[in-house]
Amino acid sequence: MKIYDISVELPYTPVYPGDPGIELIRIDDIKNGSVYNLTQISMSLHAGTHADAPLHFIDDSASIERLSPEIFCGNARVITIYKETGGIEKSDLEPANG
């Protein structure tokens, strides 16, 4: 089985509408005399490629670390859709349904 990483690189991934954007804040920088570079990241858990665990919708249910990775593996079709603006709509997917 071939495995595809479909993750979108942070901070270039869209965030869920209404959620705060992704912020990268440089804390320490070698260029400014520090002995290391350190960056802080601030983001909503809805940013980036992710899976919502049952706990997201059902109180006292399984959190993501309690889910087996195998449930996220299987057959899939990977397609690329380029859009300047807006979300992916059903009509964007229909040409790939062949």
Domain membership flag for residue 44? yes
Please indicate, yes or no, if residue 36 is contained in any of the structural domains. yes
Catalytic residue status for 56: yes
Distances 31 to 23, 36, 39, 40, 72 between C-alpha atoms, Å: 21, 9, 13, 17, 42
Q: Is residue 64 part of a domain?
A: yes
Q: What is the pLDDT of residues 58-83, one digit of tens each?
A: 999 999 999 998 888 888 888 888 88
Residue range 3-45, pLDDT digits in tens: 777 777 878 788 888 989 899 999 999 999 999 999 999 988 7
- Residue 9 within a domain: no
Please tell me the total count of domains within the chain: 1
Domain assignment present for residue 1? The answer is no
The Cα–Cα gap between 92 and 8 comes to 19
Is residue 5 included in any domain, yes or no? no
Residue 81 domain flag: yes
pTM of the model: 0.55
Catalytic residue among 24, 37, 56, 93: 56
Asked whether residue 92 is domain-assigned, the answer is yes
Identify the domain containing residue 63 by its residue range. Answer: 23-96
